Structure 1
Amino acid sequence: MSESSTETSAVEAAVVADPLAETSAQNQEASERDDQEQGIDWKAKSREWEKRAKANAGAAKRLEEIEDAKKSEVERATGKQQRAEKERDDAVAKLLRYEVATAAGLPLSVAHRLQGATAEELEADARELVKLLADKKEAERKENLVDPSAGRGSSAGSSTAEQFAAMFSK
């Protein structure tokens, strides 16, 4: 059985029940005795590798700091460039909306409502908005029209003379 599978089965056994945990401890002790018989001092090797890892960790940290310093400068420049491009794109889009609204006869106060990424899409939306506003104006105009028969309770006639005659005929 390999050493890693022994360790894995030992861990699984320790989780399942305590009597099995004792067996895994015994297996681990046996593997340590085998290493000692071969003449390898694994604890010394472990300490050696730990010292190397600590030395490399310091160098790796310094390298990471240098890369971060360079990266942050590049990132800062990239961020500024992206913000400037976004501001430019927003300004161009706003100008295009105003131009389309003006060409369609819309007030500039509704230009921000236009939807679309291209001039053609904005123009199509402007036509729809003009149509909606015209329909609304027509509806308001019809509401404001005076009904000639409004307020009259009689069905006498539509002309004033007929209405006057109907009043006296009663």
Structure 2
Amino acid sequence: MEPFERRRRVEWQEVSEMECKEWAERIGDYLDGYLDRVSRSSFDSHLESCRACRDAVADEAAWRQTLRQMPVAPMRPGFVERALQGAALANRQPVADGGRGWLFALLRRLAGGGKTSRHRRPEARLLLGAGLGGALAAGLVALLLVTAPLREVTPLAGEPVQLVSMTVNETRSLD
């Protein structure tokens, strides 16, 4: 039976279900040797009396062993050099543009330029551009509404206007 198949069938003892659930969260630490001496001793004594937890530990250990035995694909030639070069380029700070290099890079990518544009679908670029345009338009409208001067409303008819002051729960007829 595969390790992951057995994991689905583990049933905790009803007597110490809470204790089993607490230890189940620490199985990885137990197998990795991260538990302190007292915790490891407590876990060992629990394992002596709990078959479900013993099965869970054995299952996890078998799963880890299976993963260790799997072949690892070799790195492609030049991978390390390209990764280091990319990291070095990413850490450079733009100076000439006053620190706005990220903005220009974003706009260039949205407009279709830059290295990542060939990986992006044209529809995605169109949607990003439309979203950026909509956000810009909404920002301009909000700016106009906030900065526009408030005007005083004057009644059109020559009738006098009655001013009324009320509280939230007050009911009054406005005749």
Task: Give the TM-score range, shorter chain.
Answer: under 0.3
Relative to total residues, which structure has the larger helix share, 1 or 2? 1
- Structure with the greater relative contact order (CA < 8 A, sep ≥ 6): 1 or 2? 2
Q: Give 1 or 2 for the bigger CA radius of gyration.
A: 1
TM-score w.r.t. length of structure 2: 0.25
- What TM-score, normalized by structure 1, do the two folds share? 0.26
